[in-house]
Each structure stands twice: as C-alpha cells, then as structure tokens.
Amino acid sequence: MTAFYSILHFLVDGVCAAAMFGYVISGKDGYVLILLYNFCAFALQMPFGAVLDAVNEKEEERMQEELLRNADSKQNKKDWSLTAAFAGVLCTIVGAVTHPVLLGIGNALFHVGGGVGTICQKSRERGYGGNSGNDGDRGNDGDSGNDGNRGNDGDSGNDGDSGNGADWTLSGSRSLLVRLGVFVAPGALGLYLGTLAAKAGYWSAAFLCGSAAMLLCCAVFFVWLRRTEELDREQRQDVRTEYLHRIDGIQKPGPVAESVTDIAGSRKSGGSTVKKYRIVRLSICCLLVVILRSYLGMAVAFPWKTGIFAGLLAVFAVAGGKMAGGFLAAWGGAGRTAAVSLVLASVCYLFSSVMPIGLAALFLFNMTMPVTLYWMILALPRKPGFAFGFLTFALFLGFLPSYLDVQTGLAGNVIGSAGSLLSLVILAIGVGMNRRIGRGRAGAL
C-alpha cells in the first residue's frame, strides 16, 4: 500500500507542477490562480481529512452492527481512504486541463486519502518495524510532580509489530515512522521534474505521460487488491472476534487504538483521552514548526543552486532527508532524531554557500517532516485525516510570506540556521521539556 501511494504521490505532484508552470502561472491571472491552487491543494486537506475521519468512523460502526446481526458475515470493510485517493487522481487529471481549483482539489483529495491509507495500513509481514515486540523501555520514566508524568511512563515493551496485521499505533510506531518517510519523500522529486518539464516546453508530454502512468498504476493496484481478497478472508475471523469482544464489553484492544501514549504527558489506555491542553500545546507547536519549514524552503536561496544538476542534487537531498528521517526515527527515536538533525542543520546552514554543506543542511532540516506528522498522529489517534490535513494547512501558511514578497532583511544562511534552532525549541516545548530525550526507539523528546 505504501509503495502504491508513494508512486502516485510522485506522479500527482509531477502533473500538478507541470500544469501550473506549463500554462497557469504564465497566464494573465497567474498570480491569483497560484494562490487559489495552493489554498485548494494544501488548506482544503484539513476539512477533507475531517470528513474522511467521520466516514471511516461510520464505516466501523456499520461493521460492528453487521457483525452483531451476522457473526459469519463475509463483508469487507470499505476502504474510503483508497476511494479518496482514486478520486484525487481523477480530479488531478481533469483539473490539469480545465482549472487550477479542480487541480488543487484533486491534489488535496489524493494526499488525504493516500496519507490516511499509509497511516492506517496494516502490516501482513514481519518487516522493518515488524518485530515480535518487547522492544521498548519498561522504566519509571515519568516525573512524580503534578504536571506530569506519574511514573510508569516508559514504553511497556511492546513496541514492535507482532506480524499479524499490527496497527499504526504504539504496536507499530516504528513501522509508521518508516511508512510516513517513504510516503512524503517522492512528492518533492515529482514537483521538481514536473516544473522542469514545463519550463522546457514539455508540459503536455509530462501531463500525458503522468496521467497514463497514474491510471495504469491504479489499474494494476485494483487487480492486486482483487487477488489479495483471499488473504484478507484469512484475517477476517480475527477481526470479527475482535469486534465481538469489544461489543460484549470485554476489555480487549480495538483495531484502531490498543494503547495511545500522549507524548506530552502520561500513558493512557485505549478508551481514555489525553488532557486537552497537552494536545493543543503539541498541535500548535507542530503547526509552527511546519510553517517554519515551509517558509524556509522558499526563503533560503543557495548561490550554487544553478542548473539542472544542482537542482537535482538539492531535490534529492530534500526527498532523501524526509525518507531518512522516518527510518532513523524508527531506529533511534523520534525525539533524538529531531534534536540531532536540527542542531546539525543549524550549523550547516551557516556555511551553506558551500555546495556539499548546503546539501547536508537541506537533508538534515527535512528529516523532521515525518517526525512532526508522527507526533500529530499520536496526539490525535482517532483523527489521522485531520492530523494530516492540519499540518498541510501549515504548509499553506508558510507559503504566504513568499507569495506576498515579505522580506526579512536577513541573509538566507542566517534565516536557515535560526529557523532550525527555533524549530528545535518549539518541538521541545510541544512534546514536554521535562521529557528525557530519545526515550524508547520511537519515543518523544
């Protein structure tokens, strides 16, 4: 699933960039249309995500009712995330030759559907992040004070996937980090290549090839889904038993949240909620960090970034940083990865006029992208669509200063260095400054 969504992410962003730079921006209303497109593509993901969360919740209720009526029901749970992603692909293709608003809506629908599909993917095999558990800390890592964490706040040890369809919550937290890194990375490469094709005068060819590839990818995936129905049937009895246990009131973890750790507070069991102020604090801090990341991506220029070769190196550094951030956070801890990468990025930005160091700055700074998304998902475990869209709304806010030509008067390397350190401070506040850095392999700050 993640591979499918990642390939489509590359293609969708490539087609959108080709259309925007091929004919929209150069038109008489280009300045206004680029604002409309970015609003639809980024800001609308938040309401679309909220709607998708509500639809998925209704679908889960429908499945429970169906199993109450007929315990031997063979109905599958509808994958509305996949439906949203397919709808986004179609709107993108149509919007590329009609209007940027529809193009942006298609982009938003795909990202929300693909993002939630990646987040909620269940692992059928024992892969990376698919360990048999007992991989976390069992320590009394919490503070005994009132703000906080009343001991027993370390991971309970079951931080790996069991290999039997583990969810994206704590049992699959490392797998989730890897999937997020893999999903978000290809978009940057698609944007660059689509822009390059359009500026070279090949936007029509890029559109036709990209659209054909998207439709082919969807067709192949549809066939693959049909052939894997037999595998799904083998797991259906486990899911049915799980639902019936929940309906009967037996204390057994549900399929969505077996255990949620409030990374800014203490561990809560599946049915309880974390304190609202902690969720708000974390959400605002993640929002601010993503706004900074979006702004810095447009405000910081590199003197060596001229020509196709340098541009490719830069975009590979950005995409590679996003993917590496997911893998390293899964291996060494989300908090530790964020702290080390941002400190090193702040140093590299100071000397970013030198090409290798500038590439390292781009690589390190973008490593926090899957981490901030991961923390938002843990803060809102039942609302993955809203959590995803909330941070893409931050991308739109970060785009506005450059769009409005707001000048800071500071050199780009200074802005990059200061922005990296400020991001680290904000994240430390968001996840709780009293937390021990790197607790657990996928732990918080």
Domain extent, residue 56, equals 2-140+154-431
Examine residue 146 and state whether it is found in any structural domain, yes or no. no
Q: Could you read off the pLDDT of 212-242 as tens digits, one per residue?
A: 999 999 998 888 877 765 555 555 555 555 5
Residue 118: pLDDT over 80:
yes
Contact criterion met (CB below 8 Å) for 424 and 367: no
Q: Is the pTM of this model over 0.85?
A: no
* SS3 state at 271: coil
Strand-pair partners of 259 = 269
Q: Which whole number is the average pLDDT over 379-397?
A: 93
Examine residue 443 and state whether it is found in any structural domain, yes or no. no
Examine residue 145 and state whether it is found in any structural domain, yes or no. no
Examine residue 147 and state whether it is found in any structural domain, yes or no. no
Q: Could you read off the pLDDT of 336-384 as tens digits, one per residue?
A: 999 999 999 999 999 999 999 999 999 999 999 999 999 999 888 889 9
Q: Which whole number is the average pLDDT over 186-190?
A: 94
Examine residue 109 and state whether it is found in any structural domain, yes or no. yes
Examine residue 80 and state whether it is found in any structural domain, yes or no. yes
Domain count, the chain: 1
What CATH code is carried by the domain that includes residue 402?
A: 1.20.1250
Q: Read off the pLDDT band of 165 (50, 70, 90).
A: very low
Q: Which residues contact 189 (CB under 8 A, 6 or more apart)?
A: 10, 315, 316, 319
Q: Which whole number is the average pLDDT over 257-268?
A: 38
The mean of the pLDDT values for the chain is 79
Q: Which of 203, 23, 39 is nearest to 107 (CA)?
A: 39
Examine residue 77 and state whether it is found in any structural domain, yes or no. yes
Examine residue 440 and state whether it is found in any structural domain, yes or no. no
